[in-house]
Structure 1
Amino acid sequence: MEQADTEQTLSFEEAMEKLEAIVSRLESGDVPLETAIELFQEGMKLSQLCGGKLEQVERKIEMLIETEQGLQRKPFTPGQED
């Protein structure tokens, strides 16, 4: 299985865990340049994966708004206040 396939099957939590480990290694400053570049590239992919998963979840969230007619479903829109 290729790394790209493996990344797609990661849960959000697993991807975040891997990303945090990469950030810790890079912040330690004890990583050779070649390795640091590879870690950075992997970190960027994981970051994009996490962002994509968050967008998917955002689209699925629905807010239930109480109206005079009862409960009404409305797509979740971040930052929107009624």
Structure 2
Amino acid sequence: MPELPDDVAAMTYEQARDELVLVVQRLETGDQPLETSLDLWERGEALAARCQQWLDGARQRLDAARAQSATASDEPQEQ
């Protein structure tokens, strides 16, 4: 995965998602010059990648918690 711009890499999921929504809205209007549209597209790709990083991290944390819970429930209970 290409390296994200520093400002994007520092964003929370919500910040990246909200800015991505704005980028998509601007692209959908179709009234941007080509160079601006390309810049917006690249920014959108970086923002989407940041959101995916957050989602992947959340999935890993959930999987680890489930595994830990499953291990704990398999252990004999002390009386």
Taking structure 2 as the reference length, what is the TM-score of the superposition? Answer: 0.75
What are structure 2's unaligned runs of at least 5 residues?
none
Q: What's the C-alpha RMSD, in Å, of the aligned pairs?
A: 2.2
The number of residues matched between the two structures is: 69
% identical equivalent positions: 28
Residue matched to 1:74: none
1:43-82 mapped onto 2 (5 Å cutoff): 43-61=44-62, 62-63=65-66, 64-65=69-70
Residue matched to 2:31: 30
Amino acid at match of 1:36: S
Q: Structure 1, residues 18-74: CA drift from partner, whole Å, max 9, x if none?
A: 00000000001111110000000010011111111100111011234595767xxxx
Instruction: Measure the CA separation in 2 of the matches of 1:12 and 1:56.
Output: 11
What are structure 1's unaligned runs of at least 5 residues?
71-82
Residue matched to 1:77: none
- Where in structure 1 do 4 or more consecutive aligned residues deviate above 6 Å? none
Instruction: Measure the CA separation in 1 of the matches of 2:30 and 2:45.
Output: 18
More strand by share: 1
Taking structure 1 as the reference length, what is the TM-score of the superposition? Answer: 0.72
Amino acid at match of 1:39: L
Amino acid at match of 1:60: R
Instruction: Measure the CA separation in 1 of the matches of 2:28 and 2:60.
Output: 34
Instruction: Measure the CA separation in 2 of the matches of 1:11 and 1:24.
Output: 20
